[in-house]
Structure 1
Amino acid sequence: MPARELQEQLNALREQLEQNPPLSESERENLHELMQQIELKLELETKTHDASLADGVNLAVERFELEHPTLAGTLRNIAQALGNMGI
């Protein structure tokens, strides 16, 4: 189920952030805001396409790809799960 898969990826991202990777306060806040937006979408079970949410995840992937590849990989999984859900 895509929703369960997405929640698992959000949990993985949360665990990675708890390990305090070397992120600026701004980067950390952006990731937390992005996670909150995704969780809200998940709670509402909205099936409409929200390009801004998908774009936000993809921008985060690009931002963290070089310096934080593990975070970027988890974010890629989240983007894929959102796509599978039609979000």
Structure 2
Amino acid sequence: MERQQLREYLEQLNSTIGDLRAPDDDKNKLTGLIAEIELQLNEPKLVAGDPQTLVDQVENMITTFEQDHPRVAGILNNIMVTLSNMGV
């Protein structure tokens, strides 16, 4: 259930990136984060390092986007909570 919810949040974030008025660097960071989370979901054994860093990365992104892009920050917050609930 949580995996499906996480995938839905990732889809929401991905579709929001296309409409986002932000520098390409910020969009690329979000796209990279999505890819990293999807890799963790699909192949957790291939991801080196501490999975907790994914939650940390999402939390940092929330801080980056919360002022100018509250919708993105809200989706990121949902992703962070879901990852935490999954123990990732």
Is 1:39–2:19 an aligned residue pair?
no
Higher RCO (Cα < 8 Å, 6 or more apart): 1
Could you tell me which residue of structure 2 aligns to residue 79 of structure 1? 80
Supply the AA of the counterpart residue of 2:78: N
1:40-68 Cα shifts (integer Å, max 9, x gaps): 0111256xx61211100000000000000
Could you tell me which residue of structure 2 aligns to residue 55 of structure 1? 56
Could you tell me which residue of structure 2 aligns to residue 29 of structure 1? 28
SS of 1:67 mapped into structure 2: coil
Could you tell me which residue of structure 2 aligns to residue 8 of structure 1? 8
Q: Distance in 1 between matches of 2:35 and 2:82?
A: 16
Residue ranges of structure 1 left out of the alignment (5+ in a row): none
Greater displacement, 36-45 / 59-68: 36-45
Aligned residues: 84
Which stretches of structure 1, 4 residues or longer, exceed 6 Å deviation after superposition? none
Residue ranges of structure 2 left out of the alignment (5+ in a row): none
Over the residues paired in the alignment, what is the CA RMSD in angstroms?
1.2
Q: Distance in 2 between matches of 1:84 and 1:2?
A: 8
